[in-house]
Chain A
């Protein structure tokens, strides 16, 4: 009896195993990793948008020293953790899709180094500017923080607009120069990301600080929103006309929900600004960023590097992925650690959830 049941159950489990193997083959894992890959980049863009935005606003939005310290404290505990999402996204590209990592990073050589230089100065500018009291020191690092943030935001926008647009490479010739990336669609993508980051930074400041600075951010938010909305709309029109992204959408029209929601979410920002609901306004613009990049990544699928010259030369996830074993191990590691990371980052956000008072802000001194 016992033996029989054992046999039956082992037969049963064998069948389950077969099914699992049929579903969880390497292509399935690779598709799952494409989703995770897109998700990691999206988290990075969304989180760093407010830090980059505050970097770009920093010299202009503050009227007193203590307001500068408020701004520093609004990003101080978080910016470094946010930037690690970039490193994780880069590392995941390398681990899960080595071919994409190698081609994408060498194709975007010059913009990536400029982004790198920008990342140096925005980080060091932010941390160093208040460490010495001298006028020259403070101004120097303040503008470093500003300049670094502008370069990173604009060039990341251009780089990913080009990811969506495609690169002029063939199977034989895979070298692209900077000027080939600076077409109108790329530049518009850069400007759109700049405007969204500015709006995000402004609204994050509004949420985090109290006093005159908060009022000021609230008063100007609607103008930033108008600019963001115009650029976003233009860029979306460009996406429809100039890229192949919407082929996937025409195949599965339900997917149109994603860009439509991105647009609605951006419209809602203005409503929340007018109603003075700072947190909801910030979350809406963040959702817009999430859905905008999601729109791009969905349109790329299953391509990871799009060739404009020869569609068959495009690199798809099926040819770029790592081995089944590596993908499985990385999936387990990500499955365990991404929730842990998210949990303690949320804990840190809660820890510093109190409004930053102009008289108590210490900044990076």
Chain B
């Protein structure tokens, strides 16, 4: 039984993180493609069409994996968490079904229209891609609505030991949902914009398609600057909210064991194995701990020792994930602003080291956003539904053989798909965009003539 709990959790963690390697880029990159399509619809400049085609192709490769890894999530609540599904069904199923009806149909139908219709019906390009954008964004709203209830249950009563919906509006307008949603979307825009910055930098370093990648770089940079500034702000608000409704999770961010006011923040902490205090802590920043939780340097903070050990999350994991996320968030602000500074002084394309750095930065926003979800989900433990149901009570009556079968299958097959996907993304990203169309409709073979053709409007 304990093994099945552990393996079920491991399987869920693996499948959700695999899934979330694709989702943020879907959410972030579609915004940039939509901006390019809009510019193309406005100006009819063929350069924007090529930009949308190139970044859109990368989007579709990524999107395909997002779709297939997403289905697992919906199956899994029933296959592996059937007790949870019975307990939560009255509230949890509805957002999932609404997500499919409202969001998945929109994105899947219109991505098909875009992929297969963009050459035949160019007038539909911008419309189709905006529909996909609306679909992906609505999808994040509904799945986070479902997750929000697990963090902060609202609008329910308990009937026969099960959750029953009493107020749908309360579930949808759960403040926890909106904090998480905005922070997740902004973090996804960081993923998308750094992805475009990195690939553009790769080509700019090689002097390929300068005009094309300069423009792409500019759009991505605007989004990167805005998003990386807003990420810490929304993150802080989410933290304040977590401290209000999930004080124990919040205490784990900073490993605060004893309640108190004027709490410092430690840059490095190592909790004891017994989960009842810190073994090592250093690098204290005075008052920052209280500020993060209460918005005031003198605020009162509830410590982990106010609940029994059995109701504390694995503090080390939450605390380290939190530090990793925050540290990376600060790095993104610095890099984005410095890149902007170089760009504004028109020295960017001589700053080769910065461009090289941007190429290697591509994976870091993925890491940050997943660490953020580790903070959220591991921080909620040992509860699967905060304060209502423990994770250990939520699993299905399955055998150990079955879970090993599914776990091994998922890891092997997911890994094979991800290897292929990353290979394909890298290949397509390195190849760069297709050559522009010449006046006769054929491809212009030489690179030198590409600029004149792409600048001429009216294709």
Contacts and interface: CB of A to CB of B under 8 A. Distances in A.
Interface of A: 73, 76-81, 83-84, 86-88, 90-99, 101-106, 108-110, 112-113, 116-117, 119-121, 123-124, 127-128, 131-132, 174-175, 177, 322-323, 325-326, 329-330, 333-334, 337-338, 341, 344-345, 348, 351-352, 362, 364
Given A95-B94, A124-B65, A352-B117, A90 B75 contact: yes
Given A76-B112, A101-B89, A119-B68, A345 B105 contact: yes
Nearest to B405: A110
Contacts of B106: 344
B100 interface: yes
B97 to A, nearest CB: 3
Contact of B413 (A84, A108, A120, A345): A120
A113 B401 CA distance: 13
Given A131-B61, A325-B166, A84 B90 contact: no
B234 interface: no
A77 B104 contact: no
Interface residues on B, range: 35 or more
B93 A95 contact: yes
Secondary structure of the B contact surface, majority rule: helix
Given A112-B79, A127-B60, A334-B101, A117 B413 contact: yes
Q: Which 3 A-B pairs have the closest CB atoms?
A: A98-B89, A105-B78, A95-B93
B265 to A, nearest CB: 41
B116 interface: yes
Contacts of A120: 68-69, 413-414, 417
Given A95-B94, A109-B396, A338-B101, A124 B64 contact: yes
B428 interface: yes
Given A116-B71, A128-B420, A175-B399, A99 B89 contact: yes
A337 B90 contact: no
B108 A95 contact: no
Contact of B85 (A77, A102, A364): A102
Contacts of B305: none
B101 to A, nearest CB: 4
Given A80-B112, A87-B74, A351-B117, A113 B79 contact: yes
A152 to B, nearest CB: 11
Nearest to A77: B112
B165 A326 contact: yes
Contacts of B85: 94, 98, 101-102, 105
Which residue among B98, B102, B414 has the maximum number of chain A CB atoms within 10 Å of its CB?
Answer: B98
A326 B409 CA distance: 35
A102 B420 contact: no
Given A81-B105, A123-B67, A325-B168, A95 B89 contact: yes
Contact of A102 (B71, B82, B121): B82
B100 A94 contact: no
A159 to B, nearest CB: 12
A124 B109 CA distance: 17
Contacts of A132: 424, 427
B96 to A, nearest CB: 4
Contacts, number: 216
A110 to B, nearest CB: 6
A112 to B, nearest CB: 6
Interface in B375-402: 396-399, 402
B164 A323 contact: yes
A325 B165 contact: yes
Contact of A105 (B71, B82, B100): B82
Contacts of B113: 77, 348, 351
B112 A99 contact: no
Contacts of A77: 112-113, 115-117
29 contacts: A81-B105, A83-B71, A84-B100, A87-B100, A88-B97, A91-B100, A94-B77, A95-B97, A105-B75, A105-B78, A112-B75, A113-B75, A113-B410, A116-B71, A120-B68, A120-B414, A121-B413, A123-B68, A124-B420, A128-B61, A128-B64, A132-B427, A329-B94, A333-B97, A344-B106, A345-B105, A348-B113, A351-B117, A352-B116
B8 to A, nearest CB: 11
Contacts of B417: 120, 124
Contacts of A174: 397
B92 interface: yes
Contacts of A83: 67, 71, 108
Nearest to A364: B115
Contact of A91 (B97, B115, B428): B97
B63 to A, nearest CB: 9
Interface string B220-232: 0000000000000
B54 to A, nearest CB: 14
Contacts of B254: none
Contacts of A105: 75, 77-79, 82, 85
Interface in B33-90: 60-61, 64-65, 67-72, 74-75, 77-80, 82-83, 85-86, 88-90
A104 B80 CA distance: 11
Contacts of A81: 105, 108-109, 112
B91 interface: yes
Contacts of B100: 84, 87-88, 90-91
Nearest to B155: A325
